[in-house]
């Protein structure tokens, strides 16, 4: 899953207050005046420009031109004006780009010592980055410079000294830059590749987030941006990395189960080459990972789990869970090792379990999706069942879930997780029976939906535990509750 911030999201674009605003015709006409005339007549007032009027008066090229004037007041005001003009206006964003404005802004960002001007430039770049057409351009022109001029110095990395207020002169600059990079990180495979390879980007983000957690500020706004960037960079990580990374890191051990990829995506008919999975230790990690190596390292996994437990920001929780979901997806050695780390090395299940009971539906859905990935690992299934199976049953709806897609998807993922935990384990199937989950599952199976299909698959598989038939009968269930046309069709469809 790729996490992006778009214009409809209240966190996507930065609003701002300008140092001075004038009526648009007056403002544009003033660009032809002398510098002293322009600076001497500031007008403090509203912050909204008539963008179409500025566009028709060719104001954007003139504003970009006066950024070359060596006067901080003029530069600051022009940057602020441009920032407001591109806010939720794609024509103006494209006009700034077409007028070669991005290199001009980046040069000024590098050269100016004025904090307010830096804030306006980074806010302007953030606003522009919400336009999908401009993400590739910003990736090419702005990625390295934002990393070198903002991320690294403001994060404190590599000095190993978490920045105090004197170093981080204005937190809004860092916040704006991470907001811009957050949008850029959703630019697709090539964009993710460039960001992963950008020297210092991942390291500075990880270091900054570690600092906010250590300082008891897990709800820091820039931390949310940072973890969303890392979430996006973890998407399809193993498949997009050169094979040498995962092979060198994880294939030191010979007993990792290899799955046949020709079956479905549910992990239901995955076939292990070895009949029994060996419970062997994980390979040693690097003590000081750098760059992309940090994305699957236990240090970052602990950071995600800390944010899940301590942050109250829904987007921070969702992105942390989503990053772990991305890292545990797939059938290669990396998902296997990360799953082992989450469950056994860093004891992450309690924090994930708590997210099953939050009120924000998307966070709950992502937590269930993560558990579904973890439950594919047969060596972890008993631990997962003991820790979370009753909680999974408790969040299932009593009847057919609502048409809401998130609710329906969540119920489906719960059923598939329960399937993974019980299909080869009668003890876990007995636990499911004891938690009184079967009536819920039977009610859900009636619906013609994702959740209904998943519940039908689960019911069919539960009857395959012949040693539990007497227990089912004692609980007043009969064979047709488990095996019927609906459940048979759903179960067999997974083989197609």
**Range of the structural domain that residue 443 is part of:** 375-496
Stretch among 233-237, 280-284, 467-471, 484-488 having the lowest mean pLDDT: 280-284
SS3 36: helix
Residue 76 lies in a domain: yes
Residue 230 pLDDT more than 90?
Answer: yes
Residue 188 lies in a domain: yes
Backbone angles phi and psi of 114, in degrees to 5: -80, 120
- The last residue of one of the domains, among 203, 233, 263, is 233
In the chain, the N- to C-terminal Cα span, in Å, equals 25
Residue 250 lies in a domain: no
CA distance 109 to 104: 9
Q: Is the peptide bond before 418 cis (omega within 30 degrees of 0)?
A: no
Residue 158 pLDDT more than 70?
Answer: yes
Mean pLDDT of all residues belonging to the chain: 83
Alpha helices in 57-150, H assignment, sequence order: 59-65, 72-86, 90-98, 101-111, 115-129, 132-141, 143-146
- Kindly give, in sequence order, each residue whose CB lies less than 8 Å from that of residue 425, ignoring residues fewer than 6 positions away: 381, 382, 385
Residue 424 lies in a domain: yes
Residue 353 lies in a domain: no
Please state the pTM of the whole predicted model: 0.84
Where does the pLDDT of residue 131 fall: very low under 50, low under 70, confident under 90, or very high at 90 and above? very high
Residue 7 lies in a domain: no
Residue 3 lies in a domain: no
Give me the pLDDT at residue 127, please.
96
Residue 262 pLDDT more than 90?
Answer: no
CATH at residue 181: 1.25.10.10
Residue 331 lies in a domain: no
Q: What is the DSSP letter of 268?
A: S
Nearest CA-CA partner of 316 in 346, 272, 251, 360: 360
pLDDT digit string, tens, across residues 38-76: 332 333 233 444 555 555 557 899 999 999 999 999 999
Of residues 95 and 34, more confidently modeled: 95
Span 289-312, mean pLDDT? 96
Number of domains in the chain: 2
- The last residue of one of the domains, among 178, 210, 233, is 233
- The last residue of one of the domains, among 164, 198, 233, is 233
Say which residue the tokens 């999908």 belong to. Answer: 132
Burial readout 242-262 (b: 16 or more C-beta within 10 A, e: otherwise): eeebbeebbeeeeebbebeee
């Amino acid at each position: 899953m790729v996490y992006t911030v778009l214009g409809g999201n209240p966190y996507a674009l930065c609003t701002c207050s300008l140092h001075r605003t004038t009526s648009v015709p007056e403002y544009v006409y003033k660009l032809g005046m002398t510098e002293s005339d322009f600076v001497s007549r500031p007008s403090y007032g509203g912050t909204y420009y008539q963008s179409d009027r500025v566009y028709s008066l060719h104001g954007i090229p003139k504003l970009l031109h006066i950024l070359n004037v060596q006067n901080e007041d003029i530069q600051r005001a022009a940057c602020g004006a441009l920032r407001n003009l591109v806010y939720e206006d794609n024509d103006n964003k494209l006009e700034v780009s077409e007028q070669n404005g991005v290199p001009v802004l980046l040069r000024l960002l590098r050269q100016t010592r004025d904090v307010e001007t830096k804030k306006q430039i980074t806010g302007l770049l953030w606003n522009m980055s919400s336009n999908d057409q401009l993400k590739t351009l910003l990736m090419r022109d702005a990625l390295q410079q934002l990393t070198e001029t903002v991320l690294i110095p403001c994060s404190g990395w590599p000095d190993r000294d978490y920045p105090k207020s004197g170093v981080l002169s204005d937190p809004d600059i860092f916040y704006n830059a991470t907001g811009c990079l957050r949008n850029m990180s959703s630019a697709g495979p090539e964009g993710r590749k460039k960001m992963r390879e950008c020297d210092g980007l991942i390291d500075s983000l990880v270091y900054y987030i570690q600092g906010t957690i250590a300082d008891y500020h897990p709800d820091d706004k820039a931390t949310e941006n940072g973890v969303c960037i890392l979430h996006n960079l973890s998407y399809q990580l193993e498949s997009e990395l050169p094979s040498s990374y995962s092979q060198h890191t994880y294939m030191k051990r010979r007993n990792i189960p290899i799955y046949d990829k020709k079956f479905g995506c549910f992990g239901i008919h995955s076939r292990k080459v070895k009949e029994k999975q060996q419970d062997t230790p994980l390979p040693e990690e690097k003590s000081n990972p750098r760059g992309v190596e940090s994305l699957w390292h236990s240090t970052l996994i602990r950071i995600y789990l800390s944010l899940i437990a301590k942050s109250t920001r829904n987007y921070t929780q969702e992105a942390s869970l989503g990053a772990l979901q991305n890292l545990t997806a797939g059938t290669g050695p990396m998902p296997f090792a990360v799953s082992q780390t989450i469950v056994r090395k860093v004891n992450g299940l309690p924090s994930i379990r708590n997210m099953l009971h939050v009120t924000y539906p998307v966070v709950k859905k992502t937590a269930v999706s993560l558990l579904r990935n973890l439950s594919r690992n047969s060596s972890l299934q008993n631990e997962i069942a003991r820790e979370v199976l009753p909680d999974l049953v408790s969040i299932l709806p009593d009847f057919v879930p609502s048409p809401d897609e998130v609710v329906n998807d969540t119920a489906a993922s719960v059923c598939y997780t329960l399937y993974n935990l019980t299909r080869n384990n009668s003890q876990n199937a007995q636990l499911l029976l004891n938690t009184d989950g079967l009536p819920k599952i039977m009610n859900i199976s009636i619906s013609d939906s994702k959740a209904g299909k998943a519940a039908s698959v689960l019911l069919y598989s539960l009857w395959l535990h012949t040693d539990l038939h007497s227990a089912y009968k004692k609980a007043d269930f009969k064979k047709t509750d488990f095996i019927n046309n609906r459940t048979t069709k759903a179960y067999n469809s997974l083989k197609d």
